[in-house]
Amino acid sequence: MTYTPREMLAKLVSLNTESQRSNLELIGFVRDYLAGLGVESVTVPSADGEKANLFATIGPKADGGVVLSGHTDVVPVAGQNWSSDPWTLREADGRLYGRGTCDMKGFDALALALVPEMLAAPLRRPVHIALSYDEEVGCFGARFLVKAMAEAGLKPSAVIVGEPSMMQVVTGHKGGTRMRTTVRGHAVHSSRVDIGVPAVMIAGELIAWNAALMEENRARQAADNPFEPPYTTAHVGVVQGGTAVNITAEHCAFSHEFRVIPGERDADYVERYRAKIAQLEARMQAIAPDTGITLEITSFTPPLAPEREGAAEALARRLTGDNGSHVVAYGTEGGLFQGQGWSTVVCGPGDIAQAHQPDEFITVAQLDAGAGFVRGVIAELAR
């Protein structure tokens, strides 16, 4: 069975792959669809078997070629006010509505729907389709996907990560380290706070340290840095702790992140943060030895750095005609592919402003532009 890009998008949207859920139904559909076209695929399951990556090669088993990379998970719809069923594709006023239409099942749909055209073309170099899980929560699946592709002997000349960029060629993005800090305090009546260790207040000092770090980076930003904002950021998004206003809190935890510009190292920021933790722990344990602070790194996504004379950039610019300089603050799986030594850019249909929003949409014009781009990749590989 074959699908138009719009039909394929409707099918993918109908399969609920919120990050907290399994994506195996979608992966099973893709596997069977490709098999029906005579294309073998490889699945790379998660450790618990609840999710899986998939990759497939169309064309000759040769070096070179292009990877079309997309993630299969989408963010939750809970708490959002949708005008229609988020799992049913709806067209209105030149827009295609549904969860994931923009981020990023639109690109996935194009890569899959155009497989028959890939098979019909006299490809001299292969197209590799790569679909991952859990991009939205830390690019977890792509780590195993890239490793499996490399172990299978794939040596692409270019990787296109089809995140929504309005078909602009994005050559760089920030890296991201997500963390959870847990403070174990010592509870006493707040009237004797001098002999207690208030976990909430200690956490507050660490949160203030993150804020001061960001201000320090803002003050020394380079005038020619193209990122928005043009410096490494530190952000605390969730805080939980305390039981009553008259008790020094025994527990406080918060989730936070660094988004690091290329040229700086996440590890350096983590090291500085650990030094601050050690300083506070010494003070805490002088009062109550059983107190302490635990830092957990929950995910790390490497940055995508602009490449000098990169093959992926050259290809994407030829196909789009875009000669502008574009970098983004959000993270993608691109840094993982680049870390394998494969030239990588981000270029895909849709506007990132629609990602994660209620009534998420991609315009028909952008989906058509993306289809033209993938057809251009096919033509390039047939030369």
Q: Are residues 237 and 321 in the same domain?
A: no
- Residue 216: the pLDDT is 97
Q: CA nearest 115: which of 59, 158, 44, 52?
A: 59
C-alpha of 191 from chain center: 47
The token pair at 69 is 């990379």
Number of domains present in the structure of the chain: 2
The answer to whether residues 144 and 52 touch, using CB atoms and an 8 Å cutoff, is no
- Residue 22: the pLDDT is 98
The answer to whether residues 173 and 248 touch, using CB atoms and an 8 Å cutoff, is no
Write out the chain's pLDDT in tens, 383 residues. 899 999 999 999 999 999 999 999 999 999 999 999 999 999 999 999 999 999 999 999 999 999 999 999 999 999 999 999 999 999 999 999 999 999 999 999 999 999 999 999 999 999 999 999 999 988 999 999 999 999 999 999 999 999 999 999 999 999 999 999 999 999 999 999 999 999 999 999 999 999 999 999 999 999 889 998 999 999 999 999 999 999 999 999 999 999 999 889 999 999 999 999 999 999 999 999 999 999 999 999 999 999 999 999 999 999 999 999 999 888 899 999 999 999 999 999 999 999 999 999 999 999 999 999 999 999 999 99
Q: Is 309 tagged catalytic?
A: no
Indicate the angle between helix axes 106-113 and 364-381, nearest 10 degrees.
40
Q: Are residues 188 and 249 in the same domain?
A: yes
Domain span at residue 258 reads 175-301
- Residue 330: the pLDDT is 85
- Residue 256: the pLDDT is 98
Q: Are residues 18 and 72 in the same domain?
A: yes
Q: CA nearest 355: which of 102, 6, 53?
A: 102
Q: Are residues 310 and 288 in the same domain?
A: no
- Residue 312: the pLDDT is 98
9: Cβ–Cβ under 8 A, 6 or more apart, which residues? 89, 96, 98, 101, 105, 106, 109, 367
Q: Select from 245, 272, 301 the last residue of a domain.
A: 301
The active-site residue, picked from 103, 108, 135, 163, is 135
Q: Are residues 273 and 253 in the same domain?
A: yes
- Residue 329: the pLDDT is 82
Q: Are residues 15 and 144 in the same domain?
A: yes
Q: Looking at residue 323, which CATH number applies to its domain?
A: 3.40.630.10
Grouping H, G, I as helix, E, B as strand and the rest as coil, residue 191 is helix
Q: Are residues 148 and 194 in the same domain?
A: no
- Residue 67: the pLDDT is 98
Q: Looking at residue 286, which CATH number applies to its domain?
A: 3.30.70.360
Q: Are residues 331 and 354 in the same domain?
A: yes
Q: Are residues 261 and 210 in the same domain?
A: yes
CA dist., res. 13 & res. 17, Å (int): 9
- The dihedral built from the CA positions of residue 316, 322, 327 and 331, taken in this order, carries a sign that is negative
Q: Is 135 tagged catalytic?
A: yes
Cβ neighbours, 10 Å, residue 61: 9
The answer to whether residues 181 and 207 touch, using CB atoms and an 8 Å cutoff, is no
Amino acid, single-letter form, for residue 36:
G
CA dist., res. 23 & res. 57, Å (int): 21
Q: Select from 256, 285, 301 the last residue of a domain.
A: 301
CA dist., res. 362 & res. 163, Å (int): 12
pTM for the model: 0.90
Q: Are residues 273 and 356 in the same domain?
A: no
The active-site residue, picked from 18, 73, 163, 360, is 73
Check residue 102 and report its DSSP letter. I
- The dihedral built from the CA positions of residue 60, 63, 64 and 69, taken in this order, carries a sign that is positive
Q: Are residues 69 and 116 in the same domain?
A: yes
CA dist., res. 82 & res. 99, Å (int): 10
Q: Are residues 94 and 189 in the same domain?
A: no
